[in-house]
């Protein structure tokens, strides 16, 4: 279910949280910066305020055309890609339990640039709660209603 947001009067209504920015934005890589991403995402939201419900009430999806160099996160299993598949237990952070994943190592395959981005948003309250539970610093600015 997608709906229009009620936060149209905000200039900045979403921003990257460290969990995401640490994973996706490497300063040594030539992609866009955290600041550029925040600015562009908020500009795009002002033009298209449609959000889709996520897996829980505190989660929303904001689908936009890709304005970065982000590559697709999954590819079809084909006769060409199947021999490249590896498995390993992987955790996103040191604080999370590792889960079994199947993947193709980056050095084995270059995925295409994504056509769209799914900007996953978490409510300010949820970000605060998760930071408290993990012992992490809460970094959302006072203006941000959502964390990316």
Two tokens, residue 10: 């905000």
Q: How big is the chain, counted in residues?
A: 148
pLDDT for res 143: 86
Please say if the pLDDT value at position 8 is more than 60: no
Confidence at residue 30, expressed as pLDDT on a 0 to 100 scale:
58
pLDDT at residue 11, as a whole number: 56
Could you state, in order of their start, the residue ranges of all structural domains in the chain? 2-70+113-147, 73-112
CATH class of the domain at 2-70+113-147: alpha beta
pTM: 0.75
Considering only CA atoms, which of 51, 63, 61 is closest in space to residue 5? 51
| Helices and strands counted in the chain (H then E) | 3, 8
pLDDT in tens, 14-35: 887 877 666 566 665 556 788 8
Strand boundaries in the chain, DSSP class E = 2-4, 14-15, 50-53, 59-65, 86-90, 99-103, 116-123, 146-147
Longest dimension (CA), the chain: 51
18: part of which helix (H) or strand (E)?
A: helix 18-24
Sorted by sequence, the CB contacts under 8 Å of residue 57 that are 6+ apart come out as none
Q: For 63-110, how does the pLDDT look when each residue is reduced to its tens digit (9 = 90+)?
A: 999 999 889 989 999 999 999 999 999 987 788 899 999 999 989 999
Q: What is the mean pLDDT of the chain?
A: 85
């Amino acid at each position: 279910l997608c709906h229009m947001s009620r936060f149209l009067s905000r200039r900045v209504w979403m921003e990257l949280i460290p969990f995401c920015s640490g994973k996706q934005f490497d300063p040594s890589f030539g992609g866009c910066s955290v600041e550029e991403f925040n600015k562009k995402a908020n500009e795009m939201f002002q033009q298209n305020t449609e959000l889709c419900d996520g897996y829980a009430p505190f989660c929303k999806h904001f689908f936009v055309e890709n304005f970065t160099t982000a590559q697709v996160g999954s590819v079809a299993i084909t006769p060409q890609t199947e021999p490249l598949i590896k498995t390993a237990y992987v955790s996103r952070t040191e604080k999370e339990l590792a889960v079994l994943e199947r993947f193709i190592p980056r050095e084995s395959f270059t995925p295409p640039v994504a056509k769209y981005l799914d900007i996953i948003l978490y409510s300010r309250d949820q970000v605060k709660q998760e930071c408290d539970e993990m012992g992490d610093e809460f970094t959302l600015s006072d203006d941000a209603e959502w964390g990316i």
